Structure 1
Amino acid sequence: MIGSELAQQVAGDVAAVLPSAVPLAASVPQPGNEHVAAAFAGAVVAEVNGAQAGVVALLVGADLVNALASSPLGGLDLAAATQPALDTLASGLSLTAGAGAQAEPASVVATMAGPFTVVPLIGAGIDAAIVIQDRLLTPAVAPGFAAAPSAAPSAAPSGPTPGAAVPQLGHVAPVANRNGSTSSRGIEMLHGVVMEVTVELGRTRMTVRDLLALAPGAVLELDRAAGSPADLLVNGRLIARGEVVVVDEDFGLRITEVIDEAAAS
């Protein structure tokens, strides 16, 4: 059926961009049931819009959840880290994804509000899965899909082979935290995660009266002397300081000091 073919192709695209310490491959699509969330530690849900409107979701294992929580840059947001994967999922359905929202894995089944398809993403085990409402897999959602190039088998060497047993999500033990730690998977699974970096020149405090009185030409005095280094913040956490420079008519920051974890805290 074209719906299952589309689901597997989309899952293969998602596997290429989802943060993981090992290459992921799309397994065989299977009908969703109330047990699919049991093997996962985290979930992100997003609304999709276009020819149809609906909901899609990503289920992820404890390795990714724990790696984000224990990042040396501070706790990172699961929804933000997986947004590129959600965008890829929606794009494969000829739809557009809204911002993902973190959810409890057990709530995903109810969020689907009807029949849905699950495609496991296989790495060292069932490391993740995509969840798609069945009505989003109709040909009308992805016109011309039959003519689209099929995913290259070599792109997912660890995927299931013909005759191999298909992982059944409703009958597997949780793969999360198999060895009691994420150290063997490594922080390298986060290397491709896009972070928002902020440069802060200084701060000040103002009353609401003064804020309402602001007008073009007003000057705010910051709590930092002229010539002092600016702060580089990632996810609100101070990681470095530097001096503001101009690069091709744009502002830049030349790093002069990297803040160690003890100093930052």
Structure 2
Amino acid sequence: MTATTTTLHTGAAEALALQLPTPAPLRALALPGGATSAVLEAAVDGVVASFVGGLSADLALVLTDLGTITAAGGTDHGLVDVTDVLRPSLEAGASVLGVGVLGAARRESAASLFADPETVVFELTAGGLPAGWFGIRIRENGTIGTTAAQPVSSIPTGNLGRINNVEMTLTVEIGRTRMSVRDVLGMEPGAVVELDRSAGAPADVLLNGRLIAHGEVVVVDQDYAVRITKILDVAESL
């Protein structure tokens, strides 16, 4: 492991720790011996994601109060799960790796990733006490293994106040289509792409890629906006 790669591991851990929505700021301290048995036991319930770019990496986050952060979503809202809450932190950690794409965050066991000798493990501490662990495995020219997403359990009722400042991506989709590579390469200014939705049909409103509402596109002070016409029930949106 080169000094440059080690610096990237540390930079990713520190960037992630700064973005975590925890009551107290966390410090990231590397564990020289890797994951301990206690870490591996806790890692059965973690959040993992894969980054693909000039450098590829697997990232895993385990928090001792993951249940508390999960509860902050609230079953009565149901639109925010723990992967949504922690994704900005994972994005911050991945940002030090350069240009690339961070895949969907998944809640699943991270024990195998933490146990890999190629994974650098950091203890996340607050006031000298462990609040969680972060593992990152960087592959300079390798491929990232993929794991099927696991269903996320229902989120118990809790206080949303702890995650009020977490930034999320809201997307408005007016339609989709499928095109061959030949057709895409053949596009030029003036080309018309037909979508799978009729004119006047409601647009889909997605939160971190999850459908949460329908709306109509409007113009406000010469800027596009969306007027929400229907908030979807959680079960309906899934």
TM-score (norm 1): 0.52
**1:13 matched residue in structure 2:** 15
8 Å CA contact 1:48, 1:90 repeated in 2: no
Structure with the largest fraction of strand? 2
**2:218 matched residue in structure 1:** 245
**Gaps in structure 1 of 5+ consecutive residues:** 137-180, 201-214, 225-229
Q: Does 1:130 align with 2:134?
A: yes
* CA–CA distance in structure 1, aligned partners of residues 113 and 195 of structure 2: 51
Q: Residues 92 and 222 from structure 1, CA distance in 2 versus in 1: closer, same or farther, beyond 3 angstroms?
A: closer
8 Å CA contact 1:16, 1:23 repeated in 2: no
* CA–CA distance in structure 2, aligned partners of residues 115 and 217 of structure 1: 45
Q: Does 1:105 align with 2:106?
A: no
* CA–CA distance in structure 1, aligned partners of residues 99 and 194 of structure 2: 42
**Gaps in structure 2 of 5+ consecutive residues:** 141-155, 175-192
Q: Deviations over 1:37-73 (max 9, x none)?
A: 42353221313432x43322222322223334x3543
**2:145 matched residue in structure 1:** none
Query: Residue 67 of structure 1 aligns to which amino acid in structure 2?
Result: A
**1:115 matched residue in structure 2:** 118
Q: Residues 56 and 249 from structure 1, CA distance in 2 versus in 1: closer, same or farther, beyond 3 angstroms?
A: same
**2:163 matched residue in structure 1:** 190
8 Å CA contact 2:17, 2:28 repeated in 1: no
Q: Residues 221 and 88 from structure 1, CA distance in 2 versus in 1: closer, same or farther, beyond 3 angstroms?
A: closer
Q: Give the CA deviation at 1:252.
A: 1.8
Q: Residues 120 and 193 from structure 1, CA distance in 2 versus in 1: closer, same or farther, beyond 3 angstroms?
A: farther
% identity of equivalent residues:
24
Q: How does 1:177-256 map to 2 (within 5 A)?
A: 183=158, 186-191=159-164, 192-198=166-172, 220=198, 234=207, 235-238=210-213, 245-253=218-226
* CA–CA distance in structure 2, aligned partners of residues 233 and 188 of structure 1: 22
8 Å CA contact 1:25, 1:121 repeated in 2: yes
8 Å CA contact 2:52, 2:100 repeated in 1: yes
Q: Deviations over 1:221-247 (max 9, x none)?
A: 7788xxxxx886754334xx8875312
- Rg larger in structure: 1
* CA–CA distance in structure 2, aligned partners of residues 46 and 217 of structure 1: 31
* CA–CA distance in structure 2, aligned partners of residues 121 and 108 of structure 1: 17
8 Å CA contact 2:217, 2:225 repeated in 1: yes
* CA–CA distance in structure 2, aligned partners of residues 259 and 231 of structure 1: 10
**1:206 matched residue in structure 2:** none
